[in-house]
Amino acid sequence: MKIALDVMGGDNAPSSNILGVKRFLNNNPPSDIKIILVGDESLISEQLKANDMASSKHIKIHHAPDLITMDESKPALAFKNKPNSSIVRSINLVKEKQADAVISAGNTAALLASSLFVLGKIEGIKRPTLASYFPSKTGGFVLSDVGANAEVKPMHILQFAIMASIYAKHIKNTNSTKVGLLNIGAEKNKGNTLTQTSFDFLDKNIDGFVGNIEPRYIFNKDIDVVVCDGFTGNVVLKLTEGLISYFQDWITTDNAIKNDSKAVNAVNAIFNNYNYEEHGASPFLGVNGIVLKCHGSCSEISIDNSLNIAYLFAKEKLIHKIENELSENKIVTENFNQTDNE
């Protein structure tokens, strides 16, 4: 099993990626795994030597001299302008069957655009979605989309729900899922044109659709999948991260309570449960290959967990499972009289 890692991607690259690999290899990795480190060869070699990893049988270096930065001016065109970048080279390894999956903490738009250009989409899918797992009181749920598509149409929401349901079944080991549409109210007529039309699409075509769900209930309600446009989903994702971080900082610095060990331990437990580092990368569902996106500011903890996720996804042939279920679901190929072909 070969996993391509974009060593140059992320705010803390390359050290966070190298240290993540070290952490992974120190925890009894599968004997058949090979991690392909993609990026500047001299820099990678230097980092490997500094961390006593140069002789590891699980590591291979693939030179990629260019870099797509986090603030790239035209990230969607980076795959054309920088074909020798670590992101594009990593994805090409999957295309060429030299890798089974790719992991990157780099520029999200560039990663998605490059994945679409190089790997293409699963047949019938109009747009891939970025799906993220959230722990909850009832066992966790998948939120989709969390940033791949800021503007969408009801057909996209429907396909996000289908793919996220397949993903949720996989990670929760269940045969059925409950799907909710994120909205400002529970009533059918709530929201804007997008949510109202999407409600009808989901209600007619998703067996497990339970209706609208308000943001304040997503962590308490018995739900497996929550769908929305990528703009809204990204706001939910980052607001959740920010609130958890704020409460942790507050309780550990406030003079009145920071010495209360029970309170501090309780908040830390909540933080660790909702810490994105512990749950690893999120997959681009709908891309014709396993592409995992890490948080841009992730540390070695997230890289370690992402390597485990990538290995399992590849081993269990997640893409084939999605393809098989989609082929049985004619929703993805029907026209729906949509005027867009995106």
pLDDT in tens, 233-276: 999 999 988 888 887 788 778 777 777 788 778 777 777 777 77
Residue 188 pLDDT class (50, 70, 90 cuts): very high
Shared-domain flag, residues 18 and 113: yes
Indicate if 137 and 261 belong to the same structural domain: yes
- The total of structural domains in the chain comes to 2
342 in a structural domain: no
Q: Residue 49: phi, psi to the nearest 5?
A: -65, -40
- Note the pLDDT tens digit of each residue in 148-176: 999 999 999 999 999 999 899 988 888 89
Q: What are the residues whose beta carbons fall under 8 Å from the beta carbon of 244, sequence distance 6 or more?
A: 270, 271, 274, 275
Torsion over CA of 65, 281, 148 and 128, rounded to 10 degrees?
100
The CA distance from 30 to 122, in Å, is: 29
Is the same domain home to 179 and 267? Answer: yes
- 121 with 189, same domain: the answer is no
Residue range 103-153, pLDDT digits in tens: 999 999 999 999 999 999 998 899 999 999 998 888 899 999 999 999 999
Print the domain residue range for 30: 2-125+286-317
- Residue 118 and residue 195 in one domain: no
Position 271 in a domain: yes
Question: Are 86 and 101 members of one domain?
Answer: yes
Check whether residue 271 and residue 294 sit in a common domain. no
One domain, residues 152 and 112: no
Please tell me the predicted confidence (pLDDT) of residue 246. Answer: 85
Quote the percentage of the chain above a pLDDT of 70: 95
Same-domain status, 63 and 79 = yes
Indicate if 103 and 133 belong to the same structural domain: no
Residue 160 and residue 113 in one domain:
no
pTM of the entire predicted model? 0.89
